[in-house]
A and B are shown apart, each in its own frame.
Chain A
Amino acid sequence: MFESLSDRLQNTFSRLGARGRLGEADVDEALKEVRRALLEADVNFKVVKDFVGRVREQAIGENITKSLSPAQMVVKIVNDELIHLLGDEAVPLASAQPSPTIILLVGLNGAGKTTMAGKLGLFLRKKHRNPLLVACDVYRPAAIKQLETLGKQIQVPVHSEGTQVSPVTIARNGIAEARKNGHGVVILDTAGRLQIDEALMQELEEIRAATNPHETLLVVDAMIGQESVRVAEEFNRRVPLSGFVMTKIDGDARGGAALSIRQVTGVPIKFLGTSEKVDGLQPFDPPRLASRILGMGDVLTLIERAEENIDKEEAAKMQKKMQKGKFDFEDFLSAMKQMRRLGPLQQILGMLPGMSQLKLDEHINEDDLKHIEAIIQSMTLEERRNPDIIKQSRKERIARGSGSELEDVNELLKQFREMQRMMKGMMGMMPGAGSGRPAPTNNKGGSGKKGKSKKKKARAPQLPGARPGMPGFGPQAGLGPNSSPSDIESMLRNMRKDQ
């Protein structure tokens, strides 16, 4: 769905042709793509304008070096600038003396304040800061109950007074209780409100005046669009912010609002909310957010998604087999299924830095994969477990059964053997067996022996892998023997650039 910025720039520059130095025309052409990428990531258009202006200044006149192509150079400048603007390093949560530290959570409806309150509560409890949650949302039905339920889950006490008391009073009483009971931190959960709702914004000002928070955090949904700027400006004007947190970052939103909000308010990003689980909280990570905004691959998201969606036991078993080089077609099928859980192929590939430049579309297409699957499914269980027994007559049967040509079967077998050889020297791909919610297993392997009977003009089903292995899972990840030097070179360059 997203064409990455690197792809686009690559295209732009190949159209322009390589020159010794980035001229104004080249840069302006490239910046059009930068602008577009940022807008698609929901960075506010005014912020985009400023940003593009800064990048332009830096890019014009840059010498094109041997190690970086013009496209890579622009990407590097853009990426560096983005990281710089997002904030070079994380700013820790305030810690007030004397305690308690008071944290006020504010934001639009449905941004995820209450969930964030729970996550912060757990985070601080683990840091032995003895937090207290205070339920100031008296408007949304069952909001208090939600905080209480979360409190129970994370074993953090919750101060609540029902819905008939004013939020200002609740906040004040909550802090008094925290003082009395020696809590280190008070987290005030407030009702969601539109920044244009005068009455509710006034109420927020009153809460702030009554509690004097050390941290006023704006909670922002990663999916928010251009409006982020106005929302942030207005909240910041009414209740000066000390930082903001971005939630729902575990989705596929690019989160460009982070840049917008950072730009218009100047306050730092403090946390990212990942997943609906109470421990889904991460300190802010500028490079990660930058490559996400640019749509340039986000290996961490891929890994997280893998952790959430892949059957751990199955993965661990497979990993062992791989290390021993005992990887059969059964495992191959199962691996294909596991991978599919991560999302559409193109999206997964897009998350791997550098993958985009390998022009994968030409090598991997979903039909080929289905074709491969059909061939494997036309094998008997014995053949799958021990491919060596597949000789001529079996090959012919398999080809017939899967509606493919003999040469396709040969090709698959050849590539599979090659893959088996490489397995031994390769690092584990999947996160090692760990805890987590188990995903349902559905790897029964040999279901459906029919395969595809449709006769279509068979193109040799290329195992999509005659090229480097897992770039992005660490530079040491296996490189296939077929990788051409230039691929590896450009891949490594990309990794340096993207990471």
Chain B
Amino acid sequence: MFRRLFGGDDRKTEQPEEQPPIEDTATNAEHAPTAEQPRPQARLFASVDALDVEAQRIAEAEAAAARRREQSGLRRLFGGQERTEQEIQREVAKTTAAVQKTRSTGMFGRISDMFKVDQLITPELWEELEELMIAGDVGVDTTLTVIERIQTEVERNNIYKASDARALLKRELVQLLQVDQPQFSEQTTKPYVMLVIGVNGAGKTTLIAKLANRYKQEMGKDVLLGAADTFRAAAVEQLQTWAERIQVPVIAQGQGADPGAVAFDALQATNARNADVLIIDTAGRLQAKYNLMKELEKIKNIVSKRVPEAPHEVLLVIDATTGQNGISQAKAFMEAANVTHLALTKLDSSAKGGVAFAMVQEIKRPIKYIGTGEKLDDVAVFDPEAFVDALFED
């Protein structure tokens, strides 16, 4: 009988399902989406010719290197700002280094090896591939989907060598990570307001410090932090300690304060000081907690009311060691706060962050940053091609 009392999911009734986050971006000339820079046509892994894979691979590698030199994914993400050759290379090196750790021990290293051996495609190969992907937290569903797709392609194109399937796998994996997300320009949007959210212990505060540092040091922005994690013991102090190190002001009210009020204050201060970027830290919350997710909605609404179109970026932070629960996190945070981007932290660990494939697919939002260590500059802009490319580099 009690079942009669169960209500439906009222979140659904309150929130329209499909609500593109920053729709007006496209129509607002001022906030021209930076993601619209044309992609270089030398698409990696675009076509696979069974007889010419090796030659193509070399050409690809060269094209990729050239592309990196002249463009790299960074410009797309940092508002078309010109970056020096050095900066770009450092960036790529960082991604590569972080990923290399994954490679040497992890699944991609082995997948790479597996396909390198000049063997024929056998049922065992698929099985092994499946196992490796699952071991990398890619998840059963995604793994099976990817493998099925490659199998179809392999059949259609009469591919019989394992090494040829490799390029297909790469392409497939890159595609899984590529979703278009219009975004506000960090250069021209002022103030650029970011809301950083995630479960407990994902690494939000540390990432915020890194990003603040980056905005300040590398982009010359005037950054302000909002300490809206008023719940966890000493969370405010944690942010303040970082802020002192990087010399940016923090707006805080201390533990127990209303996070919405802190966000409001921080927005006031941002306007008063004419700051360029405001990053709001929020308390970690498990997505199953109704009240806490509602609180997040409330914080977001306060921000939107104060600054039209804000928050310009809602960054969901995910620990790379997370398993399949990542998917549930993505869904729930999407529903509560309309996530615009993901950030993958602790990628310097031995974990592969494979659940990111499923998460990106689930909410159709791209990964923007990766955290690669505990130091302030251990952050890199995520680029699907560079990422998967590095995973497969010889």
Interface residues of A (CB under 8 A from B): 1, 36, 39-42, 44-45, 108-112, 114, 118, 139-143, 145-150, 153, 194-196, 221-228, 230-231, 248, 250-254, 256-257, 276, 305, 308-309, 332, 335-345, 348-349, 360, 364, 366-367, 369-370, 373, 415, 419, 422-423, 426, 429, 439-440, 463-465, 467, 469-470, 473, 477-478, 480
Contacts and interface: CB of A to CB of B under 8 A. Distances in A.
A465 B238 contact: no
B137 A226 contact: yes
A102 B351 CA distance: 31
B6 A336 contact: yes
A296 to B, nearest CB: 16
A422 B5 CA distance: 13
Contact of A224 (B288, B321, B329): B321
6 contacts: A225-B137, A276-B232, A335-B5, A335-B7, A337-B7, A419-B4
Given A141-B237, A142-B238, A149-B255, A110 B202 contact: yes
Interface in B232-249: 232-235, 237-238, 240-242
Interface of B: 1-13, 101, 131, 134-137, 139-140, 199-203, 231-235, 237-238, 240-242, 255, 286-291, 319, 321-329, 331, 346, 348-352, 354-355, 374
B2 A469 contact: yes
Ranked 8 nearest A-B pairs via Cβ: A225-B323, A110-B201, A42-B323, A141-B241, A465-B4, A366-B8, A251-B286, A336-B7
B323 to A, nearest CB: 3
Contacts of A142: 234-235, 237-238, 240-241
Contacts of A231: 321, 350
A97 to B, nearest CB: 33
Contacts of A473: 2
B350 A337 contact: no
B251 to A, nearest CB: 17
A470 B201 contact: no
A345 B6 contact: yes
Contact of A253 (B131, B140, B325, B348): B325
A344 B346 contact: no
A470 B325 contact: no
A481 B101 CA distance: 62
B3 A39 contact: no
A349 B325 CA distance: 19
Contact of B136 (A226, A254, A415, A478): A226
A233 to B, nearest CB: 11
Contacts, number: 229
B231 A276 contact: yes
Given A248-B200, A250-B286, A343-B290, A227 B137 contact: yes
Nearest to A363: B3
Given A194-B349, A195-B349, 14 more contacts: A39-B134, A44-B135, A109-B346, A142-B234, A149-B234, A225-B324, A248-B286, A254-B324, A254-B325, A305-B288, A336-B7, A370-B8, A470-B1, A470-B2
A114 B238 CA distance: 13
A251 B292 CA distance: 12
Contacts of B346: 108-110, 194
Contact of A276 (B9, B200, B352): B200
A218 to B, nearest CB: 13
Given A45-B131, A469-B1, A223 B8 contact: no
Contacts of A364: 3, 6
A149 B233 contact: yes
A110 B203 contact: yes
A51 B303 CA distance: 50
A245 B317 CA distance: 24
Contacts of A276: 200, 231-232
B6 A464 contact: yes
Contacts of A369: 6-8
Contact of B201 (A44, A109, A254, A343): A109
A250 B288 contact: yes
B101 A196 contact: yes
Given A194-B349, A230-B350, A370-B8, A109 B324 contact: no
A345 B290 contact: no
A378 B291 CA distance: 29
A439 B323 contact: no
B134 A45 contact: yes
Contact of B12 (A112, A227, A366): A366
Contact of B290 (A147, A148, A341): A341
A36 B144 CA distance: 11
Nearest to A416: B4
Contacts of B348: 194
A373 B5 CA distance: 11
Contacts of B136: 226
Contacts of A343: 9, 288, 290
B9 A340 contact: yes
Contacts of B5: 332, 335-336, 338-339, 429
Contact of A337 (B4, B10, B241, B287): B10
A55 B201 CA distance: 35
B137 A150 contact: no
Contacts of A36: 140
Contacts of A139: 374
Given A309-B291, A480-B1, A141 B242 contact: yes
A448 B234 CA distance: 43
A138 to B, nearest CB: 12
Given A45-B131, A366-B8, A370-B13, A422 B350 contact: no
A367 B13 CA distance: 10
Contacts of A114: 233
A439 B291 contact: yes
A111 B201 contact: yes
A225 B322 contact: yes
Nearest to B144: A36
Contacts of B200: 110, 112, 248, 276
A227 B350 contact: yes
